[in-house]
Structure 1
Amino acid sequence: MNSHLTHVAAPEGVAPGRGYSHVVWGTGRFIAVSGQCAFDEDGSVVGIDDPEVQARQVFENIRRCLAAAGASLEDMVKLTYFVTDIQHLTGIRTARDEVFAPDRLPASSAVQVSALILPELLVEIEAYALVRDEER
């Protein structure tokens, strides 16, 4: 567990969110990950017509991007989901719950969009993380 982050699911006077923290804060080095789609390492679309499979690939891509910056999914503070159909959130949440502990969910937003870069893509997720500064 990364104690440099604090997650608050429901601040006083705010209704609890369903599957996200309203507030996440901490100290450290900020990392921004561009919106990731369901492309495998060869650039092929994974999980055509299946938002849950696409989300698993997206989270794996985010994990790899964070690793390149010396971070992990545990350092995540914010996710923004762009979906072509808001109904896809059910499958996306299933994939999300496979990688995040229920008490360590990032802050998040979800936006339905008319299209993504390719018609086969159902979800794109951008991510922000905060890595603890190591003493030198």
Structure 2
Amino acid sequence: MGSSHLTHIAAPEGVAPGVGYTHVVTGTGRLVAVSGQVALDAAGQVVGAGDPAAQAIQVFANLGRCLTAAGATFSDVVKLTYFVVDVAHLPAVRAARDAVIDPARPPASTAVQVAALFRPELLLEVEALAFVGS
């Protein structure tokens, strides 16, 4: 399932290995930057208000649609950045991520708790960077 144009370095010398992410991912090809996606449907309505699992599923569905529009897939993703209003929501986010990402080759990632997102009913936002092989 992994992309041959990407190299994953799970534990650089002197760095403890991470669980569910890779410390360094390098790649060749065309860069794809996907803006932070939130749990809005195609009509701009919030999906799963108050439900971090439902929101995470919608967020990753939106990320998938954006990647597809750029000719990319989740296997091309080198970095995910998570913004959550409560770090207690991370298990739900990880479950949604694990449904679309190869657990043997996870991307680099950063998770940050934020005070708020642009709409109060939104619980998380995720952005992605990918390299599409030439």
For 2:12, give the aligned amino acid.
Answer: P
Counterpart in 2 of 1:107?
108
Normalised by the length of structure 2, the TM-score is: 0.96
Query: Percentage identity across aligned positions?
Result: 64
Shift of 1:10: 1.4
The answer for the alignment partner of 1:127 in structure 2 is 128
SS across alignment from 2:88: helix
Q: Partner of 1:3 in structure 2? A: 4
For 1:42 and 1:117, the matched residues in 2 are separated by 17
Residue 43 of structure 1 aligns to a residue in which SS?
Answer: coil
Q: Which residue of 2 aligns with 1:52?
A: 53
Alignment gaps of 5+ in structure 1: none
Shift of the alpha carbon at 1:103? 1.2
- Matched letter for residue 114 of structure 1: A
What is the aligned-residue RMSD (CA, Å)? 0.8
SS in 2 for 1:58: helix
Q: Figure out how many residues of one structure are paired with residues of the other and give that number.
A: 133
Q: Distance in 2 between matches of 1:9 and 1:49?
A: 34
Q: Give unpaired runs (5+ residues) of structure 2.
A: none
Distance 1:101 1:76 in 2: 10
